[in-house]
Amino acid sequence: AVGKSRKSISDLMDIRPDMARVVRDGNMIEVAPDRVAIGEEVVVKPGERIPLDGVVCDGDAMLDMRALTGESKPKHVASGDEVLSGAVNTTQVLTIKVARAYAESTATKILELVQKAGSRKAKAERFMTIFARYYTPIVVLGALLLTLIPVTFLGGAFAEWINRSLVFLVISCPCALVISVPLTFFGGIGAASRSGILVKGGNYLDALNHLGAVVFDKTGTLTVGNFNVTAIEAQSPYTKDDVLNAALTAEQMSNHPIARSISACAKSHGMMCNSNDISKNNYTELSGRGVKCTIGDDIIYAGNEKLMREIGISYMPSSQFGTLVYVAKNDQYLGCISICDEIKSDAKDAISDLRKRGIEKCVMLTGDSSRVAQHVAQAIGLDEYHANMLPGDKVSMFESIASSAQNGKKTAFVGDGVNDAPVLARADIGIAMGAMGSDAAMGGIGSDAAIEAADIVFMDDDLAKLPKAIDIACRTKQIVMQNIVFAITVKIAFLALGAFAIIGMWSAVFADVGVMVIAVLNATRMIQLPSQ
């Protein structure tokens, strides 16, 4: 049973590559993955695992991503695409330029997450450990007294009462509980792993059973995160090209989806920005407001209305729908860029499924405008939303929502960005999404900070994994409770019968080993739970 439970996790975790085929001085040599440097090129043949995170520089192929995301659908990659260590190349030879060292690779990080999971025990597991610590000496003392008192004070036959004591002692052995309860949680973690859900400990799996409210980030969580520029407004005497060019200059050092959408739009207009004109020294990301950069004697700002008010720029509020990026140079307002994001196709169904599982409140926190937040909230059926929020505001608002929970209910936060890390760490259950997406692997929106701060990690950005995780948690609890009730009921009944010599040693063996075997077999139903 333990072997099967371990295998259910190791099947997902069997992604550590043993070898990397690296090109050095025109020759192809095989070395350990931890001896490959960033910038070197590795060759991956069909049937082999990708050893390190990187970018395809030659070839195109289909990748089996099941070990990373739990999804069976292959992913096509070609030159310029980012790839993750642990994925299996199924078709053509790929040449990949390494972007991350082995210690920082996706495969290594996943393994570290799983290795730590066993140290975080659920309440029931902790109870059984404490229970056994006190229960065992008590029943040993009870068995001893069961012999000494009748023999010493009542004139009982020693052989008869020592036999009763041994029967009592065998029956009272708590192995059915001590073995089956941790095994069930281990099986639950394994079942979640097969579905692309990494649970960092049994305590977090147990906490999902008490979930009363779920708080969501918007961008990349409830929405796709693929932004497109839909409109550009220019303030006279400036032109739309002036606005777009200034925004491109300001955003070029940012890896945010909004910045990438501006870059894509500028590129489609034939604009290119010289990255040598700007460095980290004259670029500042203003959390929750926008960006500021200095080019020569000019200071360019690109951000939301908060930023415009903060720097004292007189701007014209836009009536366009979507995320609005206001652009200013020095003390002059240039114009506004409207950017729209797409709501995830499964978001509404996921919220509906959460309702069916007893989640009382679904809330969205976003740094976006009220108009955009209202549109998303109404489209997918959220209970409430809070817009124009800085990362610190999200923590405060989450604490307010969590404090209003009734009857000890837990509150979860679901997010994916570096700005979500503080609230993920604060949440009763922090859930990071899209951990193994390309952005996550290369340090983008699905950041290491979010994954590190979270308690549960979804390997992809599928919202349906949240109801699935709750189902696995409920099934785990059901089996744990079945084993506890069954084992304690049988033992109490047999202890009473044994003390009065109604049953003998063979019945005692059944009450100990037999009950343990039945409880373990019941626990293996959790291990065998299908991934889909």
Question: How does pLDDT run across 216-251, given as a tens digit for each residue?
Answer: 988 778 888 777 888 899 998 989 999 999 998 888
pLDDT exceeding 70 applies to what percent of the chain? Answer: 83
Please tell me the least confidently modeled range out of 6-20, 272-286, 318-332, 384-398.
6-20
Q: Going edge to edge, which strands form the sheet with 197-199?
A: 197-199, 456-458, 429-432, 410-415, 211-217, 361-365, 384-386
Residue 320 has pLDDT above 60, yes or no: yes
Bridge-based pairing of strands 290-295 and 283-286 is antiparallel
pLDDT score, position 90 = 84
Angle value at C-alpha 372, between 394 and 464, nearest 5 degrees: 70
pLDDT band of residue 478 (cuts 50, 70, 90) is very high
Q: Write down the H helix ranges in 256-410.
A: 257-268, 305-311, 347-356, 370-380, 391-403
383-407: pLDDT as tens digits: 999 988 876 788 889 889 988 888 8
pLDDT of 8 reads 53
**Cβ pair 92, 46 in contact under 8 A:** yes
Is a pLDDT exceeding 90 seen at residue 189? no
According to the model, what pLDDT value does residue 115 have?
54
The string of pLDDT tens digits covering residues 49-87 is: 888 888 999 888 888 776 565 455 677 888 888 888 778
Tens digits of residue pLDDT in 107-137: 666 656 555 545 555 566 667 667 777 877 8
- Is residue 280 pLDDT above 70, yes or no? no
DSSP annotation of 334: E
Residue 66's pLDDT is what? 62
CB contact at 8 A, 87 and 49: yes
Lowest mean pLDDT among 139-143, 325-329, 354-358: 139-143
Beta strand pairing status for 429-432 and 456-458?
A: parallel
**Which of 4 and 308 is assigned the larger pLDDT?**
308
Return the number of other C-beta atoms located less than 10 Å from residue 370's C-beta: 12
Residue 337 has what pLDDT? 92
Residue (of 367, 369, 363) closest to 382 by Cα position: 363
> What does the alpha-carbon distance between residue 151 and residue 360 come to, in Å, rounded to a whole number?
61
Catalytic residue, from 217, 353, 439, 455: name it.
217
For the chain, give the mean pLDDT. Answer: 81
Measured in residues, the chain has a length of 532
Is the model's pLDDT at 169 over the cut of 90?
no
Confidence (pLDDT) at 348: 93
- In the structure, what pLDDT confidence band is assigned to residue 308 with cuts at 50, 70 and 90? very high
Q: What pLDDT band is residue 146 in, cutting at 50, 70 and 90?
A: confident
Report the alpha-carbon distance of residue 352 to residue 358 in Å, rounded: 10
Q: What is the model's pLDDT at position 383?
A: 92
CA distances from 365 to 168, 252, 417, 420 (A): 58, 26, 13, 10
What pLDDT shows up at residue 445?
34
Q: Which helix (H) or strand (E) holds 88?
A: strand 88-89
pLDDT at 155: 76
Per-residue model confidence (pLDDT) at position 412: 92
Q: Provide the residue type at 403 as one letter.
A: S
The burial class, CB within 10 Å (0-12 / 13-18 / 19+), for 134 is exposed
In this prediction, residue 438 has a pLDDT band, given cuts at 50, 70 and 90, of very low
DSSP conformational letter for 72: -
Q: Residue 333: beta bridge partners? A: 328
pLDDT over threshold 50, residue 442: no
Is 297 part of the annotated catalytic residue set? no
In this prediction, residues 136-151 reach a mean pLDDT of 84
Q: Which of 490, 431, 480, 434 is nearest to 456 (CA)?
A: 431
Decide if pLDDT at 98 tops 80: yes
